[in-house]
Amino acid sequence: MAERVLGLDVGTGAVRVVEVAPERPAGRGRGRAGKAPAVTRVGEVPLPPGAVRDGEVLDPAAVGAAIAELWRQTGLRSRDVRVGLTGSRVVVRVVDMPAMPDDELGGAVRFSAADHIPIPLEEAVLDHAVLEPAPAVEAGGAPMVRVLVAAAHRSALDGLLAAVAAGGLRAVAVDLVPFALVRALTDPAAGRPAAAEPGDGDPDGPNPPEPAPPAVEPEAIVSIGAGLTTVVVHEGGRPRFVRTVAVGGDLLTAAVGDELGVDADTAESAKRAGASLETLGADGPDGDLARRAARVVELRLAGILGEVQSSLAYWMAQSERPLRRIVLTGGGARAGDIAGRLGLLVGAPVEWGAVRGLEPPEPAAGAGEWADLTVAAGLALGAVAGGWRIDLGPPLKRTFRLTGEMTRRLAVAAAVLLVVLGGLTARSILAVRSERGRLAAQQKVDAGLQSQLAQYDPLHKLSSDFDASRKRVQAALAGDVSWTRFLDTLVRSMPSTVWLQTLQVQTASPAPGAASSASKAGGAGPAGVGTLQITGVGLGYPAVADWLRQVAADPAVSNLSVGSLTETLLGSRTVVNFSSTATLTPAARSDRAAQLAKAGI
């Protein structure tokens, strides 16, 4: 029987585990026998408030204690788990790159990461996976592949691994929670490509890339948890867009508590009761509290729905493709009419998510609802299902225990070794004398070689020319701007009530001595590396003010100002057309020159 797999979800309010047997025993599961995986054990233990915040473990000791209690309650024996990482400090990008062997692709991904990942490379943990072949840049051009790149701050990963270790477990893989959601809520027969083998993507290698799979309509997964909301767009299980926002059900609970003047536990109960039609129709104090909580929830849902709608609108505008449907999951999604309102905002049907490929287990004491275990189930399925994989965990170190028998064998081996070494001592003395004579002869040969080195003087000149060329390249890259990172940051900092019509950028090459002149100028502020001219539309003057406040916080922009303001009608609504100018600061520059210098080029 294949080894069972454990998926451990460390959430904001609880730790949850799902154990999956890769092969279902004959006769189990609606009378069928086969290779489908089956759930064998589940469990859930609550976490103290504040132990996990925004997806990151802040108190590893408290989380470790909860994990240990979870293992005690479930009776699990295996200590190897697959865990999931999430939060605002986890970044996912999908990029097209030239096809090459996997060992070379890893270096290429890391070299170009600065253009796609807004995390300093020395503080980041990276991994990548080839999703599928991509269209060539031009007809007859070099083959391309579509690469999924995932990165996280090392400190976020360290906190999670410390909590797992404090619970007495070992993380054999660190997946991402958005990918676990895709695996759990996507039909296994949706057409995901096979896992990339070494050499995949190399047209001359042993495993050339296969033709791209048929186009699959994109769909979105929206998971609203206690502290985080995750938005994932995928096509047949292949991620296209991932965003995590630090809002969730706890925001609604806090609003209910503030508005009704009750404690956190009462507010959570009232919020859950407000989502029940039976409770809303009941008479008495409980029914009244539930109705008041429901009204508060409906008012405060706008913040969460706005973040989800802006994320999906951004992807649809970039891809120019509509969504087939939205799959909704998470405990926070059960508050209010999120499904109905989200469908109207995005213009796509909304369905409640259900774990695919696994049958719900028998109810277990303290395990909560099966829907709450979606992430843990998806983490376990990451080891069962084929296809691409992401693992941000460090390489595992194998350990062994020194038994008494092993100690005795090592002692005998050491004694034999001492006897052999003693017998070799005399022969070693003779060998040393012989080697001294050979050394003297070799020294004479070396002296002759030294006299011949003069003929290699042209190599010194070649090295000098190389250094001069390198300096010219570095000077050319001194004014290089990382446009991908700049535009990504600009879009993220824009208010959702403003959209751009035109964007013009003009960069200026740094003149020789510009750095020294700037330093002599004293407090003149950062020198500009270019100018930015924008025309946009805002949903009123407050939207333009939000533009000035939020975009001005971008360190790559300075001297942000707004020019002309004109009111026009968009349908039946009055909007404000405006122009804006700014100066690009040195923070907008890329670090290509530093990367080349680090690589010794």
pLDDT score of 471 more than 80: no
Q: Give yes or no for a contact between 136 and 144, defined as CB atoms under 8 angstroms apart.
A: yes
Summarize the confidence of residues 361-387 as an average pLDDT. Answer: 82
Q: Give yes or no for a contact between 161 and 393, defined as CB atoms under 8 angstroms apart.
A: yes
- CB atoms near residue 267 (< 10 Å): 24
Q: How is the chain split among helix, strand and coil, in percent rounded to 5?
A: 45, 25, 35
Report the SS3 class of residue 534: strand
Residue-wise pLDDT for 404-459, tens only, equals: 555 666 677 777 777 666 666 667 777 787 888 788 888 878 777 777 776 676 77
pLDDT in the model for residue 11: 93
Q: How far apart are CA 81 and CA 15, in angstroms?
A: 13
Q: How far apart are CA 60 and CA 51, in angstroms?
A: 7
Q: Which of 263-277, 323-337, 423-437, 514-528 has the lowest mean pLDDT?
A: 514-528
Burial of 272 (0-12, 13-18, 19+ CB in 10 A): middle
pLDDT in the model for residue 579: 92
Summarize the confidence of residues 316-343 as an average pLDDT. Answer: 90
Report the SS3 class of residue 348: coil
Q: Give yes or no for a contact between 501 and 557, defined as CB atoms under 8 angstroms apart.
A: no
Phi, psi of 482 (to 5 degrees): -80, 90
Of the two residues 2 and 37, the one the predictor is more confident about is 37
DSSP letter for 589, please: B
Summarize the confidence of residues 115-127 as an average pLDDT. Answer: 91
Element (H or E) spanning 203, and its range?
Answer: none
Q: Give yes or no for a contact between 289 and 297, defined as CB atoms under 8 angstroms apart.
A: no
Q: Give yes or no for a contact between 147 and 109, defined as CB atoms under 8 angstroms apart.
A: yes
- CB atoms near residue 61 (< 10 Å): 13
Element (H or E) spanning 414, and its range?
Answer: helix 404-452
pLDDT in the model for residue 401: 41
Residue-wise pLDDT for 510-561, tens only, equals: 555 444 444 444 444 456 788 889 998 988 889 888 888 888 888 888 888 9
pLDDT score of 387 more than 90: no
Summarize the confidence of residues 200-215 as an average pLDDT. Answer: 49
Phi, psi of 431 (to 5 degrees): -65, -35
Q: How far apart are CA 511 and CA 479, in angstroms?
A: 10
Highest mean pLDDT among 2-11, 173-182, 210-219, 455-464: 173-182
Q: Give yes or no for a contact between 316 and 300, defined as CB atoms under 8 angstroms apart.
A: no
Q: Give Cα 48 to chain centroid, integer Å.
A: 26
Summarize the confidence of residues 168-172 as an average pLDDT. Answer: 95
Q: Enter the tokens of residue 475.
A: 């000077």
Q: How far apart are CA 577 and CA 534, in angstroms?
A: 11
pLDDT band of 20, cuts 50, 70, 90: very high
Strands 498-507 and 350-352: unpaired
pLDDT score of 154 more than 90: yes
Residue-wise pLDDT for 23-54, tens only, equals: 655 444 444 445 678 899 999 999 999 999 99
pLDDT band of 327, cuts 50, 70, 90: very high
Query: Which residue is associated with the tokens 């003693």?
Result: 422
pLDDT in the model for residue 553: 86
Domains of the chain: 5-384 (3.30.420.40), 478-516+526-598 (3.30.70)
pLDDT in the model for residue 98: 92
Supply angle C-alpha 385, 390, 392, rounded to 5: 135
Q: How far apart are CA 187 and CA 175, in angstroms?
A: 19
Summarize the confidence of residues 162-184 as an average pLDDT. Answer: 95
- CB atoms near residue 112 (< 10 Å): 17
pLDDT in the model for residue 127: 94
Summarize the confidence of residues 269-280 as an average pLDDT. Answer: 63
In angstroms, the first-to-last Cα distance of the chain is: 53
Summarize the confidence of residues 210-226 as an average pLDDT. Answer: 79
Q: How far apart are CA 413 and CA 406, in angstroms?
A: 11
Summarize the confidence of residues 126-155 as an average pLDDT. Answer: 90
Q: Enter the tokens of residue 31.
A: 């009378």
Single-letter amino acid, residue 452: Q
Burial of 510 (0-12, 13-18, 19+ CB in 10 A): middle
Q: What is the DSSP string of 72-114?
A: HHHT----EEEEEE-STTEEEEEEEEE---HHHHHHHHHHHGG
Residue-wise pLDDT for 58-96, tens only, equals: 999 999 999 999 999 999 999 999 999 999 999 999 999
pLDDT score of 330 more than 70: yes
Of the two residues 232 and 281, the one the predictor is more confident about is 232
Q: How far apart are CA 188 and CA 246, in angstroms?
A: 30
